[in-house]
């Protein structure tokens, strides 16, 4: 038996990248997994197969995190299938990097709507069920740039700073109902996005990291697992940086 045995987790953007690693980490400790994406690819099929091998139930749900109605429909589907939602991980996110002077309104809106409003939408859609259960865990994936900022990412930095604000506020709103709300703020993570960087760009990023390497997705997932587990029952409103020492 794992520490999340008989629990149900909903992971947005949970079929690929960091989200996939989170889904697998939670499932390895016994949770059944519902995961969303705006459109599924081969990664989702691979995740479903791995969940079956682990003896866990997997439920893929196509959902647009930018739309509250879509988020509510996704949560309703989870409740219909599993009768509860114990863990919500708001992981879905995008980047549209540019300097402020060159950034278009479309680039700003796309990131804010996905990263910030998407987090609001799924928290709102799932909170009634968690409040009724009188227990739950919400883990929001923020970023170190939401803590310290980053040139060329005013939209992304603002969205992740907003996610931290949501986290701290909901932690206060939900504390009396035994719902813990925390955030994980990754630094540079070895994903397909960062693998596209050339050697000079990669070295430039690593020079900012005292540990001189990027995080593996599984290292982010292990912190999410901790916050979603009973070991973190007395932790709420916190932001844990997984950044190799970038922010101290």
Domain annotation covers residue 81: yes
Domain annotation covers residue 96: yes
Q: Give yes or no: 234 in active site.
A: no
Domain annotation covers residue 76: yes
Domain annotation covers residue 1: no
Structure tokens at 191: 């994903």
Choice among 35, 82, 122, 156 that is catalytic: 156
Alpha carbon distances (Å) from 240 to 101, 144, 181, 187, 247 = 32, 9, 12, 11, 10
Domain annotation covers residue 147: yes
Task: Give the CATH number for residue 148.
Answer: 3.40.50.720
Do residues 201 and 144 lie in contact, with contact meaning Cβ atoms separated by under 8 Å? Answer: no
- Domain count across the chain: 1
Predicted TM-score (pTM) of this structure: 0.97
Domain annotation covers residue 21: yes
Domain annotation covers residue 130: yes
Q: Does the CA dihedral 28-86-116-146 come out positive or negative?
A: negative
3-state secondary structure at position 183: strand
Q: Domain containing 124: what range?
A: 8-242
Cα–Cα distance for residue pair 157/140, rounded to 1 Å: 15
The neighbour count for residue 243, using CB atoms within 10 Å, is: 24
Cα–Cα distance for residue pair 104/88, rounded to 1 Å: 32
3-state secondary structure at position 240: strand
pLDDT values of the chain reduced to their tens digit, one per residue, 248 residues = 899 999 999 999 999 999 999 999 999 999 999 999 998 888 889 999 999 999 999 999 999 999 999 999 999 999 999 999 999 999 999 999 999 999 999 999 999 999 999 999 999 999 999 999 999 999 999 999 999 999 999 999 999 999 999 999 999 999 999 999 999 999 999 987 778 778 888 888 899 999 999 999 999 999 999 999 999 999 999 999 999 999 98
Query: Residue ranges of the alpha helices (H) in the chain?
Result: 17-28, 42-53, 68-82, 105-111, 118-133, 145-148, 154-174, 192-195, 199-206, 217-228
Which of 37, 187, 44 is closest to 118 using CA atoms? 37
């Amino acid at each position: 038996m794992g520490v999340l045995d008989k629990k149900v987790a909903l992971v947005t953007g949970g079929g690929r990248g960091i989200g996939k690693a989170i889904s697998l980490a939670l499932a390895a400790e016994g949770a059944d997994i519902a995961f969303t994406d705006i459109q599924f690819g081969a990664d989702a099929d691979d995740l479903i197969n791995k969940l079956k091998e682990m003896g866990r139930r997997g439920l893929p749900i196509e959902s647009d995190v930018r739309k509250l109605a879509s988020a509510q429909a996704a949560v309703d589907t989870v409740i219909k299938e599993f009768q509860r939602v114990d863990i919500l991980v708001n992981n879905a996110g995008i980047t549209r990097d540019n300097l402020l002077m060159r950034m278009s309104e479309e680039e700003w809106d796309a990131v804010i709507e996905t990263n910030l409003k998407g987090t609001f939408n799924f928290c709102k859609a799932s909170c009634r069920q968690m409040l009724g259960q009188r227990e739950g865990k919400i883990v929001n994936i923020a970023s170190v740039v939401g803590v310290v900022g980053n040139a060329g990412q005013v939209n992304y930095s603002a969205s992740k700073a907003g996610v931290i604000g949501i986290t701290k506020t909901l932690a206060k709103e939900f504390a009396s109902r035994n719902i813990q709300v925390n955030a994980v703020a990754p630094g540079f993570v070895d994903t397909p996005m960062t693998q596209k960087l050339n050697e000079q760009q990669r070295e430039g990023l690593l020079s900012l990291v005292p540990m001189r390497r990027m995080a593996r997705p599984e290292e982010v997932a292990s912190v999410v697992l901790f916050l979603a587990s009973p070991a973190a029952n007395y932790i709420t409103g916190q932001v844990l940086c997984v950044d190799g020492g970038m922010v101290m």
